[in-house]
Amino acid sequence: MKWLYTPSDPLLITLAACLLIFFTIILLTRLIGLRSFAKFTAYDFAFTVAIGSIISSVLTSSTTVTHGSVAIAGLLFLTYLFSHLQRKYKRLSELISNAPLLLMDGSEILYDNLKHARIEKKQLIAKLREANVLNFAQVKAVVLESTGDISVLHLQEETTDDAQQFDLELLEGVRRKP
């Protein structure tokens, strides 16, 4: 039964650490902004995972609350700093972030881009189904975003209504070739 509970488990310390880390995250997020936990780039995702790992270490008493809070603050400061530097220096943004990649141009599947992204046609088709695409003629574009998500831009119904016109600005910055 020691795997379930032992009297030496620091339960009260864990609960206190939960409370302190909770308020630390709220405070830092309010200071640095919600962008800290956005998933715009691969490094944003990596920072979010790292912060989760730090929180886990604190809550399992592998490290102190102070040490964990400083580590989280450091990572959040770096995300804040890099978000500002990326806006200022376009070249830095290009080095750090992957540009989105076009997987379908209208109803045409771009097989070279699928191969480059290591995405199978059946995975693409599954994303089309998730987006309620009924036929390829509805598809305006499918984009592999820099986060790894796949966006399906499509008409809700086949129509020529002006409200359904496709704005090419939605594909700004999307690579057409790998």
Lowest mean pLDDT segment, chosen from 44-48, 51-55, 117-121, 154-158: 154-158
Lowest mean pLDDT segment, chosen from 68-77, 80-89, 130-139: 80-89
Q: pLDDT-based confidence at 8, cuts 50/70/90?
A: confident
Phi, psi torsion values for 140, nearest 5 degrees: -100, -40
3-state SS assignment for residue 163: helix
Fold of domain 98-171: CRO Repressor (3.30.240)
What pLDDT is stored for residue 22 in this prediction? Answer: 93
What pLDDT is stored for residue 150 in this prediction? Answer: 93
Rounded to an integer, what distance in angstroms lies between the CA atom of residue 73 and that of residue 29? 9
What pLDDT is stored for residue 53 in this prediction? Answer: 95
Q: pLDDT-based confidence at 44, cuts 50/70/90?
A: confident
Indicate whether 159 pLDDT > 60: no
Rounded to an integer, what distance in angstroms lies between the CA atom of residue 148 and that of residue 48? 15
pTM as predicted? 0.67
Mean pLDDT of 106-133: 95
Question: Domain ranges in the chain?
Answer: 11-95, 98-171
Rounded to an integer, what distance in angstroms lies between the CA atom of residue 125 and that of residue 107? 12
Lowest mean pLDDT segment, chosen from 25-39, 112-126, 152-166: 152-166
